[in-house]
Amino acid sequence: MDNRPIGVFDSGLGGLTAVKELMRILPHERVLYFGDTGRVPYGSRGRETIRRYAAQDMRFLVQHDVKVVLAACGTVSSTARDIGESLAVPYLDVLRPTAQAAVRQTKNGRIGVIGTAATIASGSYRREILTLNPAIQVFEQACPLFVPLVENGFVAPQEEITRLVAQRYLAPIRERGVDTLILGCTHYPIISATIRSVMGRNVTLIDSGREAAIGCREMLRANGLLNAADATAEYHYYVSDFDEGFRQIAGLLLGQNLNGQVERIDIEKY
């Protein structure tokens, strides 16, 4: 039993899709979230910059005495696969649990992967899927405009601009006849209604935030790190820059008002 918080980080608010699932499946845990809102997006940056940012994000969490670090960011997970190896606490990212869920799900062996430019350029999802099952066909597409659309609040299913962008990005993947689509960036589940309407109801969407949260529960269980079953959940949110968007979208996504619960920190100190 361990009452220290679970540490979760992302470049912005996408990692909250993992927090949302943690709230549901681990209702007795404390969660400490860091969103690097001052430096988002990571997905259009080079590998070294992404590594440096991720290392700072993890140092912030570890210095706040978390029991595990969850990289709820597809970009960090894909471009800095080894980054958690030297940490003093267990580390997990979104890549493996998400790829496993997609491989379990597909019936026709055709999986689509969408993510940031850095995630798709890394080829990490393709490699992970083919390691699990070399017979699967993988079709990838970078969707760099999705993150700014989400961070700026264009998330409602009736947002015309988001729908047009989605149609443009997703058409080639849809034409390949995939039956499973990995939302390889944790921001994307926030616009899953739009993605679903473009892809059609027969395509299963795999939410990387959700799968990472499920992976985190397994890991805590296996290592005897769960909190007491009668403990009260607690959530603390930190950002590197204040923006009203974070509070608004976070409130919408998590179904609660985060007023007064979001604190700004200087990530460059870590």
* Minimum gap (Å) between residue 40 Cβ and ligand DGL: 5
Give the residue, chosen from 73, 92, 166, 225, that forms a contact with ligand DGL under the rule CB under 6 A: 73
3-state DSSP call for residue 3?
coil
Applying CB under 6 A, which part among 62-70, 73-81, 99-107, 230-238 lies near ligand DGL?
Answer: 73-81
Candidate ranges 35-43, 95-103, 106-114, 241-249; the one touching ligand DGL (CB under 6 A): 35-43
Counting every residue, how long is the chain?
270
Shortest reach from residue 54's CB to ligand DGL, in Å: 11
Minimum CB distance to ligand DGL, residue 21 (Å): 14
User: Is residue 11 part of the contact set for ligand DGL (CB under 6 A)?
Assistant: yes
Considering the complex, what minimum distance in angstroms separates the CB of residue 10 from ligand DGL?
A: 5
The amino acid that residue 73 corresponds to is: C
Is residue 74 a contact residue for ligand DGL (CB under 6 A)?
yes
| Piece in contact with ligand DGL (CB under 6 A), picked from 71-79, 155-163, 174-182, 232-240 | 71-79
Tell how far CA 97 is from the center of its chain. Answer: 11
Told to check if 37 binds ligand DGL by CB under 6 A, we report no
Q: What mask of x and - would describe binding to ligand DGL in positions 110 to 139, judged by CB under 6 A?
A: ------x--x--------------------
Q: Minimum CB separation from ligand DGL for residue 157, in Å?
A: 20
73 is catalytic: yes
Among 5, 7, 14, 35, binds ligand DGL (CB under 6 A): 14
Q: Measured from the CB atom, is 106 or 122 closer to ligand DGL?
A: 122
Contact residue for ligand DGL among 6, 16, 19, 40 (CB under 6 A): 40
216 catalytic residue (yes or no): no
Closest CA to 15 of 155, 141, 189: 189
Which residues are identified as catalytic? 73, 185
